[in-house]
Structure 1
Amino acid sequence: MMAQEHRDLVVPPPPVPHVRAPWSIRAASVEEDLGRIVRWMRLPHVDAFWHQAWPEERWRAELERQLAGDHALPCMLDVEGAPLAYLEVYRVARDRLAGHYPHHPHDLGVHVAIGEPDRTGRGLGRALLREVARGLLAADPQCLRVVAEPDSRNAPSLRAFTAAGFRVVGPITLPDKPATLLAHPRSEEDLP
């Protein structure tokens, strides 16, 4: 089904992934998480590809906007009880990515920022991505694929996604970056 054919279909907001121990995830809270998100976004390894080292008030407004809408859900992910990553789970049908491949109405996308620099380069990224993809498919049984569009120049991110079972669909050009579209399908028939 092409994007324009299902613009009028109603789909629920993006869900919180159903993850298993040692992982835990929840919707972000402005009161609890704002400071950590602002700090993480200012770290060089995150800012290099997110470009969102914004002031606290801008992040407050962004989190409030996302939490009030049905396009994206900001989430905080812990491993073994320790904060690890900020995620944005989004509905592709409501996102700029919708025009870049023949998406299904329930497709979900994910943006991931591992915030703690001393926890990068240890294989946690691929384990996190595998668990989040599995968890999103479990959270929405109608979702056929979980997608991501990391910056094509972010080699560590691309390696982590492919090691986690995401398949390269191809290059796409977004307004702010050259990206690589990746998909984690429910089955091989569900690849875009």
Structure 2
Amino acid sequence: MSHLDAYRPTDDLSAVPGPPLPVLTDGWHARVVDPVTPDLDLVHRWMQAPHVAAFWHQAWPRERWEDEVRRQLSGRHSLPVLVSRGDDPVIYLEVYRAARDVVAQVYQARPHDVGLHVAVGDFGMTDRGLVRVLLPVLTQALFDVDPRCTRVLLEPDVRNRQAIASFTAGGFAPVGEVLLPDKVALLMVRTR
């Protein structure tokens, strides 16, 4: 893990802003989830879908999702985002600061590192290459919006072979397996 060794425990995270909203190109659009619109119903429905629930473990009641979205929006750790291709949302993202996340216990996060949780909510939209095509655009947008960010990471469940294949095709390199509270994950990184 030599290319992940740059974290200095003395770095001050209080000066690091919350995760940025990427400004996407190439027909993609990203917007923050609004909990007082149908966005919340969409995220809730997607999280109930078996292909998402199997790896996210968040098939929660709508009220808990409303609390979760509001919690994320009020903090500087994670940002809930809907990504559209054309007019309709097709992907739910959580863009997070890795140094403020549990993943920092198993990887030497730099203060401006950004992590992603990615879900294609509608099963009918899986296996279409959406994530593979989105990831290069998304990571470039994250690097553009935060010039101090030098790494974007993903930590899919090691059993989620479809996600790992999509992330690899989207430019992320596997670094190694890590044990997180709810899964054994494959840490994957894309550098600037």
Is the shorter-chain TM-score for this pair beyond 0.5, marking a shared fold? yes
Aligned counterpart, 1:10: 15
**Could you tell me how far 1:5 is from its partner in structure 2?**
2.7
Alignment of 1:124-135 (within 5 A): 124-135=130-141
Aligned counterpart, 1:20: 25
SS state at 1:5 partner: coil
Runs of 4+ in 1 over 2 A off after TM superposition: 1-5
Aligned counterpart, 1:190: none
Q: Does 1:182 align with 2:188?
A: yes
Q: Structure 1: how far apart are the matches of 2:36 and 2:13? A: 35
Match of 1:51 among 53, 57, 77: 57
Q: TM-score, normalised by structure 2?
A: 0.93
Q: Does 1:119 align with 2:125?
A: yes
> What does the per-residue CA deviation read over 1:138-184, in whole Å, with 9 as the maximum and x for residues that have no partner?
11110001001010100000000010110111100001000000001
Q: Structure 1: how far apart are the matches of 2:24 and 2:51? A: 25
Q: Does 1:30 align with 2:42?
A: no
Aligned counterpart, 2:145: 139
Q: Structure 1: how far apart are the matches of 2:102 and 2:56? A: 16
Letter in 2 for 1:21: D
Aligned counterpart, 2:111: 105
Preserved contact between residue 9 and residue 105 of structure 1 (Cα < 8 Å): no
In structure 2, runs of 5+ residues without a counterpart are 1-5
Preserved contact between residue 7 and residue 93 of structure 1 (Cα < 8 Å): no
Aligned counterpart, 1:189: none
Q: Does 1:91 align with 2:97?
A: yes
Q: Structure 2: how far apart are the matches of 1:40 and 1:30? A: 15
**Could you tell me how far 1:21 is from its partner in structure 2?**
3.2
Q: TM-score, normalised by structure 1?
A: 0.93
> What does the per-residue CA deviation read over 1:97-147, in whole Å, with 9 as the maximum and x for residues that have no partner?
112222211000000111111111011111122221111111111000100
Preserved contact between residue 7 and residue 111 of structure 2 (Cα < 8 Å): no
In structure 1, runs of 5+ residues without a counterpart are 187-192
Identity among equivalent pairs (%): 46
Say how many residue pairs are matched: 186
Q: Does 1:172 align with 2:189?
A: no
**Could you tell me how far 1:3 is from its partner in structure 2?**
5.0
Preserved contact between residue 14 and residue 108 of structure 1 (Cα < 8 Å): yes
Q: Structure 2: how far apart are the matches of 1:77 and 1:179? A: 24
Aligned counterpart, 2:167: 161
